[in-house]
Amino acid sequence: MNGFKVIQPGLLTLIQDAGRFGHHRIGLTTGGPLDPLAFRWANRLCDNPLDATALEVSIGGLVLEAQVDTRIALAGAEMPFKINGTEQDRWHSHKVRAGDRIEVGFATNGARAYLAVSGGFHVEHSFDSAATVTRESIGGLNGARLQQGDFLHCKPAPDARGYRLEELHRPEYGQHVTLRVIPGYQQHAFSNVQKRIFFSSEYKVTDRADRMGFRLEGPEIKPSMDGILSEGICHGAIQVPADGQPIVLLNDRQTIGGYPKIGSVISLDTGRLTQLMPGGTVSFEEITQDDAHNLHCLAHKQFERIEPKAV
């Protein structure tokens, strides 16, 4: 068999592709990478389609044994990256051969990194995607996080092209992010005073932060309504439950919910949020829908314009 044997699965390592779309109507959420920029770069550095199946390594601790000749790249959070005990550069494609040991240590900055392989990992799709959503027990290998002894199939690619992203283009991860928010139509349930509190305050990431959503802690904001009829929830929606503490909903969110929402964090910023560890802080900035479209287009063009170096 060609691929990688899982020696140690790490704290939370999941098989992810770009996500599972078009199935909210039957209650299936999207899944996919929490930090799509790092995910796309990992694939691009391996000369893959940007939606190729890769590994999302949360916090770290992953150890694999190669049983194939190919290329791999690690992009995202600062995690020590070793091949056969020798430290390797992240954001850089590296050749591996059968018998090599790949180690991803524990994060020193940021929270999630993405390990891509040339051609992507070959995983059977469930509802049009390999994305793992453990809450729904779907995708990946048996709908679960990686386990010791699992085997990740891929094709040999000893002559595959590889690339390196120069340091000036690599994202920086810190302990604070400003999240840009498009106010939602339920913003009218929040008084001007409540909105001012929300947009001028700093909130802390609690330990109740996972792929469903990040619960934040800070000044309370109170809507004029206790709840609403359950309705569809978009990625990045900021729910405000009865305790007045906001929750930013993410990839594995439920498909419907009944808490008032003050707005939604734009997709460019949710990835930056998910690179924070508990104790990290966030603030919010209000922008318009037109602003969000412009920012998205600019980010897309910038990604395309950056030319990684062949290795």
Q: Output the six-digit token pair for 217.
A: 């802690």
Q: Output the six-digit token pair for 115.
A: 């390990």
DSSP secondary structure letter of residue 277: P
At 286 the pLDDT is 97
At 138 the pLDDT is 97
Positive or negative CA dihedral for 150, 152, 158, 164?
Answer: negative
Pairing outcome for strands 81-83 and 54-58: unpaired
Backbone dihedral region for residue 59 (phi beyond 0: left; psi -120 to 50: alpha; all else: beta): left
Give the pLDDT of the chain (311 residues) as one tens digit per residue.
899 999 999 999 999 999 999 999 999 999 999 999 999 999 999 999 999 999 999 999 999 999 999 999 999 999 999 999 999 999 999 999 999 999 999 999 999 999 999 999 999 999 999 999 999 999 999 999 999 999 999 999 999 999 999 999 999 999 999 999 999 988 889 999 999 999 999 999 999 999 999 999 999 999 987 767 788 999 999 999 999 999 999 999 999 988 999 999 999 999 999 999 999 999 999 999 999 999 999 999 999 999 999 99
At 87 the pLDDT is 98
Domain positions in the chain are: 3-161, 176-305
CATH of domain 176-305: 2.40.100.10
Strand order from edge to edge, sheet including 70-78 = 12-16, 54-58, 109-117, 70-78, 93-96
Q: Identify the bridge partners of residue 202 per DSSP, sorted by sequence position.
A: 283
- Long-range contacts for 107-110 (Cβ within 8 Å, ≥24 apart)? 107/59, 107/60, 107/77, 107/78, 107/79, 107/277, 108/78, 108/79, 108/80, 109/77, 109/78, 109/173, 109/174, 110/76, 110/77, 110/78, 110/79, 110/173, 110/275
* Cα–Cα distance, 28 to 20 (Å, whole number): 8
